[in-house]
Structure formats: structure tokens, C-alpha cells
Structure 1
Amino acid sequence: MLKLLSSSSSCLQARVHVQGHRRTCIRLCSSISISTNPSSQPFSLPIISELIAKQHWSELKTHLKDSNFIAVLHQLFDAGADPVLILRYFSWSQKNFNVTHPLELTCRLLHYLANAKKYSKIRAFLDGFVRNNEKHSNSSIFHMLSMCGNQFCANSVIIDMLVLANVKNMKTRLGFEAFQRAGDYGFKLSVLSCNSLLSALVKENEIGYVEYVYKEMVRRRIEADLFTFSIVINGLCKVGKLNKARDVTNDMKAWGISPNVVTYNTLIDGYCKKGGLGKMLKADAILKEMVANNVRPNEITFNILIDGFCKDENVASAVKVFEEMKQGLKPNMVTYNSLINGLCCNGKLDEACGLWDEMLGLGLKPNIVTYNALINGFCKKKMMKEAKELFDDIMNGGLAPNAITYNTLIDAYCKHGMMEEAYALHNSMLERRVSPNTSTFNCWIACFCRQGNMELARKFLLEMEVRGLKADPITYNLLIDALCKEGESRKAERLLNEMFKKGLSPSHVTYNTLMDGYCREGNLKAALNVRLQMEKEGKRANIVTYNVLIKGHCMKGKLKVANELLNEMLEKGLVPNRTTYEIVKEEMMEKGFLPDIEGHLYNISSF
């Protein structure tokens, strides 16, 4: 069962007995004589015990009519009654007579059960105790357990199950606190309770606590298992702490535990979600490491990589992984959906249609995700007739279009000026009781912002709020962009401040759009203030930021300052893009100004 129970010798070796706990200065759990209670009436303990054992509760109730229930409990303890029998009486008196048993009696009962090795009973009892407990803190529970008995093994078992009970009842913080106090008291916990706590902390995104528990497990010599490492690695990958996740993988190997397919999949998924060329290369390297270590990749492994490459707009690598997958595994619906979506997003509609046919040939039936991906592909190619035909096929195939389906088509109709079709589809969406979401309204707001019709954009914004939907950063980016293009950057900045009030985090797009608006108006001071605010919020200037500011200064004739910004950009390791070269060429060199890039590894002629 629990490893801490496997050997009594491990308990004897632990340095846990704080000298004060060994003393019996006050025996809170000592027996209380029934004769001391004037309300108590004489009764036969053997009869009481027999009634409890047979669960003849009505007779017991009659027999104990004028007795003190807590005094009876003390008598059962003193008589050395069976722990299960005492537990039955404890629970019955609590449930039927709302008796509030003192914490010391609760702890005494737990000790009796632990000494009798009634572990399932302890688990069930603590589950109810934790669920209903609003009175006793972890501190008082630990203190009373220590006062009621200095049996290290028993206390360790009880506290271990207390941690589990807290986690089971979704009281993770109390479980974490119990874990901490167990370390202070020197109680030995099992890997089972630690894993449950770690898993709950990961679900609640408390990765800092996950790291603490993992380090404490190592310090306390709680032997971690495969599940421990997998949970910790998953948590670290979840928040993008990939280097730490790799360190834990190395710890795992040092403990003699080999990573399995789940471990590798978690790491690969972490790098794929992080994105970027470097991260995707590392994800691919982990796949190779996996194969080298004789761990066979499964469908999930390949699906993660294919989806990662597609989202990174590296469809060629995704196709390569897809072909590699087919050498030993059968691609499933998830595989085809990821690849079809990736191809459609990159304008490779013919290849996507080829995969659609291949999928059908394998007997795989397209689902709504497949249809949505292909409809998006047709919309990007302005093939609205084919997109609508696919939309109609959804119903014919026994599927139902969802909000994404409608949003994709509404957005495409709006972009192509097909407003009647867009309105008709919106009404159809409402008739079919498909609830519009924030993205639906963003499609309309974007449409009217492009048309310069801010009145209609605000109308849809108001309707969105009436429906109980909240504007997201994309909504604000659209409105800020539209206002900046109308020369209303001050109003746009008010929206930025509104985002902060609503707890939304502006993106680089938000800040860069506002900076661009101010630069177009010639208000460089305001643009630079926006940059300062952006950096104060923890977002460093990116290549777009520098392009906007360099062009803004060039337009005001401040070419030397623009040149300084160009050098600053290069010093920070940012690589100039096509827009940078165009700005330098058109706004500097063609105006007779030769930029001085101070020995950076760029040839002026390349600009």
C-alpha cells in the first residue's frame, strides 16, 4: 500500500520526536470518568457495545436517553473497544444528534484506527471531516495529533491521508499547507499523496508551488516515481519553463527512471506551444532522442509535431513528419485536421483537398473541424461559392455548423463586400440557435472599421455587451486601429486605458498600432511615451516597434534620431525585415541621408 507502511524500521530512524511532544504535561486525550457528569445515567457498556456492533440504533437511542454522548465515547475508548465500533458510534452520534466532538477525541479516534491498520476507514473518515470542517486549522490538527500520541508512523499515515482528503475535496491550498507542516513535524508522506497534490496544483496553474513540492520531495527523500516526474514536467511545460522541464527529465534519468512516451510527448508539446524556429527544431530533436532511446512515438507524438509545425507556418516540415508517421502508424482524424488546416492557412488549397480525398479513401469521416478548415481555405482564395457549397454539405452530412463555421463565412463575406450574404448568414445563425460569440462581433466590428463606419462598429460593440459578451484584446485592437487611421489617437489611447481597467493585457499589436497613429500625426513625444508604457508592462520593443518609430522620425525630418533607433535595434539583436529595408531606402537614402550602422554586420548596399 503506502511505502511508509512497508517497514517499521524506517519510522524508528526518523528524527521526529520534538522533546515537548514527548512530555505528558497535559493529557487532553485522557479518559473522563462518567461519574463526573451529573447528567450521566448508569448503563451497561457490554450492552452498548453489542447494540453498536449490530447497528440497532433505535434501541441504542432509547438506552442512552439521558446520557452524555461524549462521556460514552470516552468510556468506549477507556474500555479498549474495537476502533471500528467506536467509529460507528462517533459517526452516529454526530449525524443524528449534531454532537460536535472535540478535536482531541477526533485525533484519538484516528490514532486508534491507524494502530489497528484500518486505513480504508481513516480515508473515508478524513474525507468527511475535511469536507465539513470549517473550524479546525491545519495548525490545530497537527498540534492535537502530536499531543494525543507521539507515534510517528500513525501520525505519518494520518497526515498523509489528510493531504489526500484535502486534494480530493478540492481544497488544494489546505493540502499544500498540510504538506508544508508535515515537513516541519518530520512526518513521512507517501509518493501517492505527493503526486495527487502535484496534479491538483498543476490543474490550478500553481506551478511555483509545484516546484516547491518537487524540491521538498527530494530534500525529504520521498522517492519520486514516473508519475511524479511526468506531472512536474507537464506543469513546467504548461507555463513555458522548458529548460526547467529538461532539468527534471535529467533528474528522472539520474534516479534510474526512463522517460516514457508520455514524458516525451509532454516535452514536445511544450516546445511546439512555445513556437518559433528554435523551439520547433528542439521539438524535432526530442523526437529523434526518443527514437534513439527505443521509445516508440505514437499517434499523439506525430499529431503534436504536425500541429506545431502548421501553427508555426512551416507546412513543409509538417508534411515531412506526416510522411514519416505513415511508415509505421495510421494517421487519424486529428492528424488530417491539423494538416488540412495548416495547408489552408498557407494558401495550399489543392494539397488540402488532396488530403480530404485521401482521408475519405481511408474511411475517415470528416467532422466539423475538417469542414471549418476547408471552408476557411476556400474563403482565403475568394472561392465563396465553393465555401458555401461546403457549408451546405455540413447539414447534408448530419453535422451541425458551429460558431467558428459561421464566423469564418461572415468574415469572408464582409471582406469581399458581400454584405447581404453576411447579414443573411448572421440571421441564419440566430435562427439555428447558434450563439454568436466575441469573435462573431469582432468580424462585424472589423468590417465596419475597414469601411470607416465607426457608428455601426459601436452599435455592434453595444449589442455584444447587451448579450453579456466581453470585448477582448482583438476587439480593442480593431477599434484602436480604426481611430488611429482617422487621426483620433488620443481617443484610441483612452481605449488602451480602458483595457487596463477591464483587466485585459494589451499586446505588441495594440501598442505598435497606437505608436503608429501618433507618428502619423507627427506627435513623436506621445509615441515614445506609449513605448515607455509598453516596456513598463514587460513588453520589449520588437521589429515592428522600431519600424514605426524609425519611419515616424524620418517623416518629421529627424534622420539622426532615426539612425540612432536603427542602431539600437541592431544592438538588441533584432533582424531587419523587408519593411525596415524599405524605410531606410525610401525615407533615408533616397533623401540623401546615408545611415551609419556603426560596424554592425550589415552592408549598407543591402539596404
Structure 2
Amino acid sequence: MNVFESLKSSGVELNSVVYNTVLDACVECSKLEKAEAWMEQMKKDGISDVVSYNTLIKAHLQAGHMSKARALVEEMRVAQLQPNCITFNEIVNATVSSSDRRVRGEVWKVIQEMQAAGVKPNQVTCSILLKNLNGSSPESDINQTMQLINNMEEQLDEVLLSSVVEACVRIGKPDLLNTKLRQLMSGDIKVNGSHTFGSLIKAYGHARDMTSVWRCWKEMRTRHIKPTSITVGCMIEAVVSNGDPDGAWHLIQELGEDPHCKGILNAVIYCSVLKGFTREKNASRVWAVYEEMQKRNIDLSIVTYNTLLDCCARCCRMDGVPDILADMKKANIKPNIITYSTMLKGHCQVGDLSAAFKLVKEMREEAGLVPDEIMYNSLLDGCAQSSLVDEGLRVLKEMEEAGVKPSNFTLSVLVKLMSRARRVDQAFELVGLSVIGSGSSYQPHFFVVCLVKRCIFAGTYGHTN
């Protein structure tokens, strides 16, 4: 303000640019009251314009003052100033970003108001709408957004292309994803950015179109567009998720030999391959990847170690756990609840319940963590597999005392536990006839109990209730 007063006293002509600069400075410094006062001065001096209003509208929206922002739009019209794309895009962004579901539902009224004012939605408008689409978005919002993009007069650029395919992946509708990919790639868009290639690779991976995944990758490499770690991550994940961890592993090794790319390989990229081999229970490959990560001095994370432990659990090779825990200790990485849950699952799967219970005790005493529902379910399932009914009931009691509510899966395990001990009455007592439903996950085990004890009438009664 002192600079402005100095300019004013020196006789320099003060135009709207200077006034708007002061207004913007007030907003940037979070001085909203001063910004409002300055706006009043601008109106008094007849110097306020569309830029002034847009600056103050943005400030009110950032402060959560939607009604004040909307009032300013009306004030613009009274002052015969036409709201422009920036005006409406700010309101659209605030509307879709609101925590209030009712406010978010007003977005298409804003779009209609925008169009009625003769302002056509542009690429920014579409990008704002796209970034808020996900698997729980209403079908009407998805369709209207896609239609808006189709009707847009501006040429689709690669930034919006990337936003479209990423939104389609988040929405989780394979048919829509395939349709949009065909539409987009039949146009004249030339992709030049590594980020956009990454988005396309991710999208084609979700669409199970590996031919197009490799086509995009090869085009990017042929044109000497250097991939980022995110692009490589998208590529590796696409290859792994489509059932080819060996192909992904081979690609990582190729990139590791490329002096321009070896620096972008990180733990996240390697972990995708680790998880792929773990799902296949290919322990030898998992250890080979782990050894290369160590050799290349990749910064290992808790996710890396938890994946290695998951491999031990899936492959019933719990003898490998101590070495992994020792490596974690050397790396100063503390086990988390997932670490313990994974080890617990492994012990239960191999029938070593004493080690499982010992692990829970260690977790409480050394890490200060408490079991969650997943861990209790693993313990119960382990007891059921080993027919340790009394131990299982103690776990259930402890679970209830800890305030952890049993899920449908918990009840299914309990019924399995009781059925193996032929304690049908306790199964009825634990589950309760009132919770038996035709859609419940524990219904099959409940009928096993009934058949074991030939309680057909009780089984039928449970089903009908």
C-alpha cells in the first residue's frame, strides 16, 4: 500500500493493472477484509473490472464463502461486466471440491448458468470435472462430463487427453475406458509428454490391451522421450497386473543397463514386480529381485519388506522371516500392523499357532500395537484349521473385550470352528439365528453344522430368517 501511495503522490497514472496488483497482494497475504475494502475503493474510483471481480471471487471461494462469491457474480452483471471462463471455472472447481454433498450436486446448474451466459466450457472446465470423477460418481455426472468433452470446440490437447483416460481408469468401467481410448486415439493428437504416455499405458493396462501398452512404450522409446519414474511405474504395473511379472522384470533389467534411465528406478517400481512374483508364489524370483535391489542400493521401504514377508507366508516358508526382520532392523525400519498381520497369517497357515500367539504378545509389548479385525480373524481361522476350539473361543472373547466387532467373515470362521468340534448348539448361540441371511458369507458353514448334526429343520429355519 505504501508503494501505491508513493506512486499516487508522484503523479503517475494509475490504471486498473496497478489497482488489481494491490488487490491481488491483499488476497495472496490472506487479508480478505483489506481486499474487500480495496475493492470498494476501486469501485468508487471506477477502476474495477472483470479481473478485479475474479480475484475477489477466488479469495472468497478459497475461504469457503460460496454465497459471497455468487453475490459478486451477480454484482458483475449489474455493473455490466460479463463473467468469463475464469469466473465460472473458479465456481465449478469450488463446487465439485466442496465437502457438502448438496453443494457438489449443484455443479451442473453452474455449467448451465455458464452456457446461458454465452460462456462455453473449455479444457480447464472439463479437467476440473474429470478430476472429481471416481467409481462412486453418479452415471449422470459421468455421461454429462464426457458429452461436454465431445461438444467442446477447442482442440483436445494431450493434457486433457491424460485427464480423460485417468478419469476412466478411476471410474472403473472397462467398456467406457475402451470406448474413450478408441475415440481419443482416432484423432489427430500427437503425444509428446512422458506423463501422457504413462497415463495411456496405465489405461491400456486396465483395459487388458497389452498390444497397445507395448506400442505406447516402444513409440516413446523410439522417439527418445525419456520416461519418468512414474511412467516406468505405470508400465511395470501394467505388465505385472496382466500376468507377466517376468516380462516386467526383464524390462527393469534393461532400464538398469541404460545410463539415461537407471537413475529413475525406485522401490515402488521394484515392488510391483515383487508383488507379481509373490502372487505367483515364485519365491526364487522374489529373492532375486530383492538381491538386485540391494545391489543397486535402492532405498527400501516398509512396503518392500512387507511384500517379502507376504511371499514367506504364501509359500509357507516362515523360516525366511528372521533374515527379513534382521534386514529391516539394519535399515532402521520398524514393523507396522501390516508386518505383524502378514507374519501372523503365515504362522496360522502352516499351523504354528504357538508362534502366532507369541507374535501377538511381542507386537503388544515391543511395538505397542494392538491386533485389528484382520489379525483376530487370522488367529480364529488358524484355530479352526487346527481344531483348537477353546483357544478360538478365548480369541473371540479377547476380540470382544477389545471392542473389535466381528464381521461376516469372523462369524463364518466361528461356525467352521464349531462344526469341526461338532458343537452345533454353541454355533447357534455364537452366530444367532436372527443374523443368518441368504446373502451372508457364513451361511455355507452354518449349513455344514446343520448337516453334521442332521439338524435339517434348524438349517431351514435359519435360512428362512
When normalised by structure 2's length, the TM-score is: 0.70
Give the whole-Å Cα distance in 2 for the aligned partners of 1:382 and 1:213.
Answer: 48
Structure 2 matches for 1:566-581, cutoff 5 A?
none
User: Which residue number corresponds to residue 214 of structure 2?
Assistant: 323
Q: 2:144 aligns with which of 217, 222, 247?
A: 247
1:433 Cα deviation after fit: 1.6
Please say if 1:269 is aligned against 2:269: no
Distance 1:158 1:337, change over 3 A: closer
Give the whole-Å Cα distance in 2 for the aligned partners of 1:497 and 1:227.
Answer: 53
Q: Secondary structure at the match of 1:173?
A: coil
Q: Secondary structure at the match of 1:330?
A: helix
Give the whole-Å Cα distance in 1 for the aligned partners of 2:53 and 2:401.
Answer: 49
1:324 Cα deviation after fit: 3.5
Q: Spell out, residue by residue over 1:119-176, the C-alpha distance to the aligned partner (whole angstroms, 9 max, x if none).
A: 1111112333536x6xx9x9xx69x988997999949765532232355xxx4423x3
Structure 2 matches for 1:491-530, cutoff 5 A?
492=396, 495=399, 510-518=407-415, 521=418, 522=424, 523=427, 526=431, 529-530=434-435
Structure 2 matches for 1:278-293, cutoff 5 A?
279-293=173-187
Structure 2 matches for 1:62-73, cutoff 5 A?
none
Instruction: Verify the 8 A CA contact 1:214 1:232 in the aligned structure 2.
Output: no
Distance 1:300 1:52, change over 3 A: closer
Give the whole-Å Cα distance in 2 for the aligned partners of 1:295 and 1:552.
Answer: 63
User: Which residue number corresponds to residue 437 of structure 1?
Assistant: 336
Instruction: Verify the 8 A CA contact 1:550 1:562 in the aligned structure 2.
Output: yes
1:528 Cα deviation after fit: 5.9
Cα RMSD of the aligned pairs, angstroms, is 4.9
User: Which residue number corresponds to residue 216 of structure 1?
Assistant: 110
Distance 1:286 1:155, change over 3 A: closer
Distance 1:361 1:410, change over 3 A: same
Give the whole-Å Cα distance in 1 for the aligned partners of 2:39 and 2:211.
Answer: 61
Structure 2: 5+ residue stretches without partners: 419-423
User: Which residue number corresponds to residue 324 of structure 2?
Assistant: 425
Please say if 1:459 is aligned against 2:361: yes
Give the whole-Å Cα distance in 2 for the aligned partners of 1:116 and 1:155.
Answer: 10
Instruction: Verify the 8 A CA contact 1:336 1:359 in the aligned structure 2.
Output: no
User: Which residue number corresponds to residue 478 of structure 1?
Assistant: 378
Give the whole-Å Cα distance in 2 for the aligned partners of 1:180 and 1:265.
Answer: 31
Q: Secondary structure at the match of 1:401?
A: coil
Give the whole-Å Cα distance in 2 for the aligned partners of 1:181 and 1:462.
Answer: 57
User: Which residue number corresponds to residue 164 of structure 1?
Assistant: 58
Instruction: Verify the 8 A CA contact 2:277 2:285 in the aligned structure 1.
Output: yes
Distance 1:125 1:248, change over 3 A: same
User: Which residue number corresponds to residue 108 of structure 1?
Assistant: none
Distance 1:565 1:177, change over 3 A: farther
Distance 1:553 1:216, change over 3 A: farther
Instruction: Verify the 8 A CA contact 1:306 1:322 in the aligned structure 2.
Output: yes
Instruction: Verify the 8 A CA contact 1:261 1:295 in the aligned structure 2.
Output: yes
Q: Given residue 442 of structure 1, which amino acid in structure 2 is its aligned partner?
A: S
Q: Given residue 405 of structure 1, which amino acid in structure 2 is its aligned partner?
A: T
Give the whole-Å Cα distance in 2 for the aligned partners of 1:155 and 1:51.
Answer: 18
Q: 1:182 aligns with which of 53, 61, 72?
A: 72
Please say if 1:305 is aligned against 2:203: yes
When normalised by structure 1's length, the TM-score is: 0.56
User: Which residue number corresponds to residue 120 of structure 1?
Assistant: 21
Q: Spell out, residue by residue over 1:180-222, the C-alpha distance to the aligned partner (whole angstroms, 9 max, x if none).
A: 4435767565432543455466667667544424522432545
Q: Given residue 401 of structure 1, which amino acid in structure 2 is its aligned partner?
A: L
Give the whole-Å Cα distance in 1 for the aligned partners of 2:370 and 2:75.
Answer: 48
Q: Given residue 361 of structure 2, which amino acid in structure 1 is its aligned partner?
A: K
1:178 Cα deviation after fit: 2.8
Task: State the identity %.
Answer: 14
User: Which residue number corresponds to residue 291 of structure 2?
Assistant: 392
Q: Secondary structure at the match of 1:236?
A: coil
Structure 1: 5+ residue stretches without partners: 1-48, 55-81, 86-112, 310-316, 533-539, 569-607
Give the whole-Å Cα distance in 1 for the aligned partners of 2:239 and 2:460.
Answer: 40
Give the whole-Å Cα distance in 2 for the aligned partners of 1:563 and 1:259.
Answer: 61
Instruction: Verify the 8 A CA contact 2:305 2:324 in the aligned structure 1.
Output: yes
Q: Given residue 202 of structure 2, which amino acid in structure 1 is its aligned partner?
A: I
Segment drifting more, 196-205 vs 408-417? 196-205
Q: Is the radius of gyration larger for structure 1 or structure 2?
A: 1
Distance 1:199 1:219, change over 3 A: closer
Q: Secondary structure at the match of 2:64?
A: helix
Q: Given residue 256 of structure 1, which amino acid in structure 2 is its aligned partner?
A: E
Give the whole-Å Cα distance in 2 for the aligned partners of 1:274 and 1:406.
Answer: 31
Q: Given residue 229 of structure 1, which amino acid in structure 2 is its aligned partner?
A: C
Q: Given residue 128 of structure 1, which amino acid in structure 2 is its aligned partner?
A: C
Give the whole-Å Cα distance in 2 for the aligned partners of 1:528 and 1:383.
Answer: 44
Give the whole-Å Cα distance in 1 for the aligned partners of 2:45 and 2:457.
Answer: 78
1:368 Cα deviation after fit: 2.5
Give the whole-Å Cα distance in 2 for the aligned partners of 1:408 and 1:226.
Answer: 41
Instruction: Verify the 8 A CA contact 1:449 1:478 in the aligned structure 2.
Output: yes
Instruction: Verify the 8 A CA contact 1:492 1:514 in the aligned structure 2.
Output: no
User: Which residue number corresponds to residue 45 of structure 1?
Assistant: none
Instruction: Verify the 8 A CA contact 2:88 2:110 in the aligned structure 1.
Output: no
Structure 2 matches for 1:78-97, cutoff 5 A?
82=8
Segment drifting more, 344-353 vs 246-255? 344-353
Distance 1:126 1:361, change over 3 A: closer
Instruction: Verify the 8 A CA contact 1:479 1:492 in the aligned structure 2.
Output: no
Instruction: Verify the 8 A CA contact 2:411 2:442 in the aligned structure 1.
Output: no
Structure 2 matches for 1:12-27, cutoff 5 A?
none
User: Which residue number corresponds to residue 256 of structure 1?
Assistant: 153
Give the whole-Å Cα distance in 2 for the aligned partners of 1:479 and 1:338.
Answer: 36
